[in-house]
Amino acid sequence: MNKQSRLTEKSVTKNALLRSPLLRAFAALVLVFLIGMVFHAEGAFFKWNTHRDMLRHISVFAILACGMTLVIITAGIDLSVGSLLGLTAVLFSLFSIQKAWSPWMSLLACLVVGAAFGAVSGGLVGRFKIQPFIATLAMMVFARGMAKWVSGGQKISTAVLQPDGTYHYVEVPPIFNFLNSKILNENIAVVTLIFLGCILICWIILAKLRWGRYIYAIGGNEEAARLSGIPIIRTKLLTYGLSGLFCAVAGICQAAQELQGDPEAGMTYELTAIAIVVIGGTNLMGGRGGIGLTFIGAMTIGYLEKILSINAVGEASRLMLTGAIIVGAVLFQKTRR
Amino acid sequence: MENITKSFSGIKVLDDVHFDLNAGEVHVLAGENGAGKTTLIKILAGVHTDYEGEIYLNSKQMGFKSPHDAAECGISAIHQEMSLISPMTVVDNIFLGREKVHANIWMDHSSQKDTAQQLLDQLDIQIDLSLPVEEYPLSVRQMIEIAKALVYDAQIIIMDEPTSALNDFEVRRLFDIVRDLRQKKYGIIYISHRLEEIYEIGDRISVLRDGKSIGTALADDLSPQELIQWMVGREISQQFPERMTSIGKERLKVDHFFLPDPSKAKNWVVEDVSLSLHEGEILGIAGLRGSGKSELFEGLFGAYGRTAQGNILLDEESFKLRSPRASIAQGLVLLTNDRKGTGLVPPMDIIRNITLSSIKSFSPKGWMHTQQEKTSAQNHTERLGIKAHSLYQEVDTLSGGNQQKVVLAKWLQTKPKVLLLDEPTLGVDVGAKHDIYALMNQWTSEGLAILLITSELPELLALSDRILVMHRGKITAEFTRDEATQEKIIHAAMGEEKKA
């Protein structure tokens, strides 16, 4: 009797492991990785530089996906991340290149702007109960407009227009070069480290802080959470605010990589960020998911794009293949339920 | 159904079960939550398709591939969670999945409407067919569900706890319909936890326990004592434990409490209610659906914010009506009547649900102390007798009784002074009900004051020290424990309607 019950318990844990979303997401990543091993483009896939560049390329998207994960767990969505990235990229270039503010001041100002815009979305969703899709759609349009307004529709670069109509070239501030550099014998990009930092921050919030518990509770059952005394509005304000803050981080990285602030930057990035979260396995209905999943999702999408690009697949085919593979990966995860 | 066996991930939930049903009978399927009733029903209704054993319909072996398939063969199920689509009209809901069409594409609205009207006339329900079902109360929706089943030319209708959301009068109405259907030679499988109901409506009773058939008997041959014993596998001496009361000083005093109607249909849903509740007392609130009793609870709890008005004293201090958060902090908590909708956070585990309302005490500076949290949750699960494989189990996977205990644990963890219980035993099996009664006795002996709503009158009478009756938002009568009888309460609950 005792033996039997132990046996069933064991089989339960085994099943639970198979059903664990983390494992499923990981399986999808391994699959993509294996594809890379097969189509290695004459050994390119086996070189560390390929992986380093993949990590560097995916970092900006993944930083956006970090904030997106928290918002999606509250059963919301943040469509404004791409536009906020564009706005903060423009502002960062404007402040640090053209206005020659100190790098710390410029960083701080951009982070404040990002967080404030995010918090406004959170306020609209929390206090005024506007659906997250609508509220952040409006914010997406507004922020894009603002980016074009502050930049005058021009890319903000080292070429500064003088009153007499000529261009005067200024030095690139060292912060740009630092953010765009690779450290540890050129083995890892600084932006990748920033991305890992964002993952760590989100993990602490979700696993270790009371705030994280509120995020899961609101996504799991908002009414029950409210009746349990959880501060809904404050939590949403903070969570969307954090998403905005991450947008600013991503915007600063983007500006550093491009050495300019492009008001068009970040167009459709929100879709990539959502794809990363979803392919990781975080549930769009809210209440379930985690930042570890998003990390794996970012790797999966990153490798996918890298493999297609080192095999010189044309952009048209690449987009179509990416779409098909996202569906495939999500279906693959589902079948393991 | 012969030799039905069904396993979920290696665990047998049904083991060699037999069940049969004759035309023109009501066969009650009884058993505690988790006994396998719902699984058995889902197999019959084509929801689960991988099982062992055989199903015969009119002595022909069947194998249903889908709920639609089962419905085509004349088996209709009315599940616990209703399957109506709220914003769609009554007609559209009735014909959902079986729309009448011309030439396979064009909807035949007029013929649908005629048939639906006939059906509802047959059931003696007068409603506007072109309104969305969300306009109607739960009881009417239940009737619409039945009409929907009849459209399918069902021979067998399965009702899974159809009365759990109905009040006594609506239950009468439903039973009239069920008796009518029985007369018309439909076979009805009826699942219920309420003993009175089982005996009132059932012709035969079958009991499942732990996935096994325990027995089948004519309702007349099976005493309630025996039935309970079959269900729980042990003897429960009485249905309700002895109530021992030690009433102390006044805990809660409500003076002239008003709550405006959120839907603006009338001025007040709760009008000029005053009451006082003492330490160690259970004060029962009776009333029909729509009498404002649940709204009274929600209003006192602050769920409607500052729109509620009135003077409230809690332990002789002024009680601030502001929000659930403020009420919890002041020591007044509410167990709502909708466990899944407003009580639990289904994707979270047992621990996290238990500590949801008291989370601050486990995270003084914002950082969670998970070990402390776990220990505390463990204490509660032991004290309340919550049965689960693991504390990390999602509450979704628990039975109704255990879920309810989790919600109770959540509120106890906040160390409340006043507990508002709205239908604490709704959808809870006999064993767990008994546990909850005993717990209520224990808590009141420790000084907690309880306001109780339950639509099961015997329960209300057995548990309450005093009973207030509400009608249309006002208190219309008050009875002491000794004065109260079912008749008096029902009379007071509908009193004014008779005069009008």
DSSP characters for B11-48?
EEEEEEE-----TT-EEEEE--TTSSHHHHHHHHTTS-
pLDDT for the residue A253: 94
**A230 in B contact zone (CB under 8 Å):** yes
Overall average pLDDT of the B283-309 stretch: 88
Domain shared by B15 and B85, yes or no: yes
pLDDT score, position B424: 92
Span B238-257, average pLDDT: 84
Specify the range with the lowest mean pLDDT, choosing from A222-236, B134-148, B416-430. B134-148
Residues whose CB is less than 8 angstroms from the CB of residue B302 and which lie 6 or more positions away in sequence, other chains included: B308, B321, B322, B323, B324, B325, B326, B327
What is the per-residue pLDDT for B94?
84
Q: What is the pLDDT of residues A254-278, one digit of tens each?
A: 999 988 889 999 999 999 999 999 9
CATH number of the domain that B153 lies in?
3.40.50.300
Say if the Cβ atoms of A8 and B10 lie within 8 Å: yes
> Scanning the structure block, which residue is given the tokens 């492991």?
A17
pLDDT at position A290 over 50 = yes
Rounded (5°) CA angle A55-A69-A65: 30
The yes-or-no verdict on residue B8 having pLDDT over 70 is no
Q: Are B26 and B201 in contact (CB under 8 A)?
A: yes
Picking from B204, B229, B236, the residue whose alpha carbon sits closest to that of residue B218 is B204
C-alpha to C-alpha distance for A148 and A111, rounded to whole angstroms: 19
Q: What's the helix, strand, coil split of chain B in %, to 5?
A: 40, 25, 35
- Give, in degrees to the nearest 5, the angle at Cα A266 between A260 and A270: 160
Q: With a cut of 50, say whether residue A172 has pLDDT above it.
A: yes
The mean-pLDDT minimum among A29-33, A69-73, B277-281 falls in: A29-33
Q: Does A205 touch chain B (CB under 8 A)?
A: no
Distance from the Cα of B154 to chain A's closest Cα (Å) equals: 34
- For residues B468 and B290, which has the higher predicted lDDT (pLDDT)? B468
Per-residue pLDDT averaged across B7-11, rounded?
56
**For chain B, what is the domain count?**
2
Could you tell me which chain B residue has the CA closest to the CA of A285?
B347
More confident residue, B277 or B48: B277
Q: Does residue B127 sit within a domain?
A: yes
Q: Pick the residue of A4, A221, A284 with the most B CBs within 10 A to test the interface with B by mutation.
A: A221
Per-residue confidence band for B335, with pLDDT thresholds at 50, 70 and 90: very high
Question: Does the CB of B301 have a partner CB in chain A at under 8 Å?
Answer: yes
d(CA B216, CA B218): 7
A206 touches chain B (CB under 8 A): no
Contact B336 A287 (CB under 8 A): no
Higher pLDDT, B474 or B71: B474
User: Does residue B41 have a pLDDT over 70?
Assistant: yes
Same domain, B307 and B375: yes
Could you tell me the end-to-end alpha-carbon distance of chain B, in angstroms, rounded to an integer? 52
According to the model, what pLDDT value does residue A227 have? 92
Whether the Cβ atoms of residue B423 and residue B166 lie closer than 8 Å to each other? no
Cα B448 to Cα A158: distance, rounded to the nearest angstrom: 72
A336 pLDDT higher than 70: no
Q: Are residues B341 and B486 in the same domain?
A: yes
pLDDT of A93: 92
Of A68-82, A175-189, B60-74, the range with the highest mean pLDDT is A68-82
State whether A210 and B348 contact (CB < 8 Å): no
The predicted pLDDT at position B34 comes to: 66
Q: Which residues, in sequence order, are bridge partners of residue B8?
A: B11
Interface test with A, best of B356, B362, B408 (most A CBs within 10 A): B356
pLDDT for position A15: 52
Partner A contacted by B106 (CB < 8 A): no
- pLDDT at residue B495 in the model: 60
Is the model's pLDDT at A153 over the cut of 90? Answer: no
Is residue B36 situated within a structural domain?
yes
In chain A, which residues have their Cβ closer than 8 Å to the Cβ of B334? 227
Domain that holds residue B166: 2-232
A248 compared with B118, residue with greater pLDDT: A248
What is the per-residue DSSP string for B180-232? HHHHTT-EEEEE-S-HHHHHHH-SEEEEEETTEEEEEEEGGGS-HHHHHHHHH
A288–B10 C-beta distance less than 8 A? no
Residues of A within 8 A of B410 (CB-CB) are 228
So what's the pLDDT on residue A18? 55
Cite the DSSP H helix spans in B332-446: 350-354, 370-384, 400-413, 430-445
- A–B CB contacts, 8 A cutoff, strictly below: 88
Look at residue B394 and tell me if it is in a domain.
yes
Decide if B393 touches A, using CB distance below 8 A: no
The neighbouring-strand residues paired with B468 are B285, B478
Domain boundaries, chain A: 32-331
Claim to verify: residue B430 and residue B492 sit in the same structural domain: yes
- Which DSSP symbol is given to B306? G
CB contact under 8 A, A224 and B344: yes
Q: From residue A297, how far is each of A37, A300, B288 by CA, in Å? A: 19, 5, 53
What is the ipTM, given to two decimal places?
0.81
Q: Order of strands, edge to edge, in the sheet holding B317-318?
A: B268-278, B250-260, B309-314, B317-318
Query: Is A89 in contact with A266 (CB distance < 8 Å)?
Result: yes
Indicate whether A140 pLDDT > 90: yes
* Cβ–Cβ below 8 Å for B346 and A228: no
How far is CA A208 from each of CA A49, B11, B137, B155, B232, rounded to the nearest angstrom? 35, 34, 44, 56, 42
Q: Please, which pLDDT band fits residue A335 given cuts at 50, 70 and 90? A: low
Position B10 scores a pLDDT of 54
CB contact under 8 A, B352 and A287: no
Nearest CB neighbour to A220, from listed B345, B359, B360:
B345
Q: Are residues B187 and B294 in the same domain?
A: no
Q: What pLDDT is stored for residue A8 in this prediction?
A: 40
Average pLDDT for B246-272? 85
Same domain as B312, residue B168: no
* Alpha-carbon gap: B347 to the closest alpha carbon of chain A (Å): 6
Instruction: Tell me how far apart the alpha carbons of residues B141 and B94 are, in angstroms, rounded to a whole number.
Output: 11
**For tokens 């505390």, what's the residue?**
B376
B200 & B272 share domain: no
Cα separation, B160 vs B44, in Å, equals 13
Same domain, B213 and B125: yes
> Do B135 and B75 share a structural domain?
yes
Same structural domain, B428 and B470: yes
Going from the C-alpha of A266 to that of each of A60, A85, A271, B387, the distances in angstroms are: 9, 6, 10, 51
What lies within 8 Å, CB to CB, of A61 at 6+ separation is A250, A269, A272, A273, A276, A298, A301
| Residue in A12, A204, A227 to test binding to B, most B beta-carbons within 10 Å | A227
Q: For A237-253, how does the pLDDT look when each residue is reduced to its tens digit (9 = 90+)?
A: 999 999 999 999 999 99
Q: Quick one: B204 and B290 in the same domain?
A: no
Scanning every residue of chain B, which has its alpha carbon at the shortest distance from the alpha carbon of A288? B347
Q: What is the predicted pLDDT for the residue at B414?
A: 93
List the beta bridge partners of residue B168: none
Instruction: Using pLDDT thresholds of 50, 70 and 90, give the confidence band for residue B499.
Output: very low
Min CA distance, B399 vs chain A (Å)?
18
**Residue A217 contacts B where some CB pair is shorter than 8 Å:** yes
Residue A66 confidence (pLDDT) above 70: yes
A114: left (phi over 0), alpha (psi -120 to 50) or beta: alpha
Distance from CA of A286 to the nearest CA of B (A): 9
Best CA proximity match to A252, nearest among A91, A120, A121, A116:
A91
Contact B366 A288 (CB under 8 A): no
> Among A14-18, B70-74, B300-304, which range has the highest average pLDDT?
B300-304
| Tens of pLDDT, residues B344-365 | 999 899 999 999 999 999 998 8
Shortest Cα–Cα distance, A21 to chain B (Å): 13
Residues 138-197 of A with CB under 8 A from B: none
Give the other-Cβ count within 10 Å of A47's Cβ: 13
Strands B282-286 and B449-453, sheet pairing:
parallel
Minimal Cβ distance to A228: which of B10, B363, B410? B410
pLDDT at B1: 61
Query: Alpha-carbon distance B325 to A210, whole Å?
Result: 16
Average pLDDT over residues B91-118: 81
**In whole angstroms, what is the distance from residue A58 CA to residue A214 CA?**
29
Q: Does A224 touch chain B (CB under 8 A)?
A: yes
- CATH number for the segment(s) A32-331: 1.10.3470
Nearest chain B residue to A15, by CA: B9
Same domain, B217 and B311: no
**Phi, psi (degrees; rounded to nearest 5) at A220:** -75, -40
Taking every pair of Cα atoms in chain A, the longest distance, rounded to a whole number of angstroms, is: 93
Chain B residues with CB under 8 Å of A207 CB are 368
Cα A204 from Cα A167, distance rounded (Å): 47
Does residue B496 have a pLDDT over 60? no
Contacts A234 to B, Cβ<8 Å: none
Tell me the DSSP string of B43-95: HHTTS----EEEEEETTEEE---SHHHHHHTTEEEE-SS----TTSBHHHHHT
**pTM of the prediction?**
0.79
Nearest CB among B341, B344, B366 relative to A210 is that of B366
Most distant pair of Cα atoms in chain B: their distance: 75
pLDDT-derived band at A192 (thresholds 50, 70, 90) equals: very high
d(CA B243, CA B165): 27
Which has the closest alpha carbon to B262: B322, B202, B305?
Answer: B305
Closest partner residue to A223 (CB to CB) among B323, B342, B348 is B342
State whether residue B410 sits within 8 Å of chain A by CB: yes
Please answer whether residues A333 and A24 qualify as being in contact, where contact means their C-beta atoms are separated by less than 8 angstroms. yes
Chain B positions touching A208 (Cβ under 8 A) are: 367-368
CB contact under 8 A, B357 and A217: no
Q: Is A223 on the interface with B (CB under 8 A)?
A: yes
A 270-299 → B contacts, CB under 8 A: 287-288
The torsion angles phi and psi of B478, rounded to 5 degrees, stand at -135, 135
Nearest chain B residue to A228, by CA: B357
Q: Does A11 touch chain B (CB under 8 A)?
A: yes
Residue with the larger pLDDT of the pair B79 and B309: B309
- The crossing angle, in degrees rounded to 10, of helices A210-220 and A232-258 is 110
B356 interfacial to chain A (CB closer than 8 Å)? yes
Name the least confident of A175-179, B11-15, B59-63: B11-15
- The whole-number pLDDT of residue B3 equals 60
CB-nearest to A224 from B10, B343, B389 is: B343
Which of B50-54, B148-152, B171-175, B252-256 is the most confident on average?
A: B252-256
8 Å CB contact of A209 and B366:
yes
State whether residue A93 is helix, strand or coil: helix
Pick the residue from chain A with its C-alpha nearest to B344.
Answer: A224
Q: List the one residue out of A151, A152, A85 whose CA is nearest residue A114.
A: A85
**pLDDT for the residue numbered B228:** 78
Determine, yes or no, domain membership for B239. no
The predicted-structure confidence for B441-457, as pLDDT tens digits, reads as follows 999 999 899 999 987 88
Q: Is B79 on the interface with A (CB under 8 A)?
A: no
Predicted confidence at residue A118, as pLDDT, reads 97
Examine residue B96 and state whether it is found in any structural domain, yes or no: yes
Instruction: Give the integer Cα–Cα distance in Å for B333 and B411.
Output: 7
Q: Report the C-alpha gap between B130 and B290 in whole angstroms.
A: 24
Q: Does B332 contact chain A (CB < 8 Å)?
A: no
Structure-token match 């989370």, residue found: B359
The secondary element (H helix, E strand) that includes residue B486 is: helix B486-499
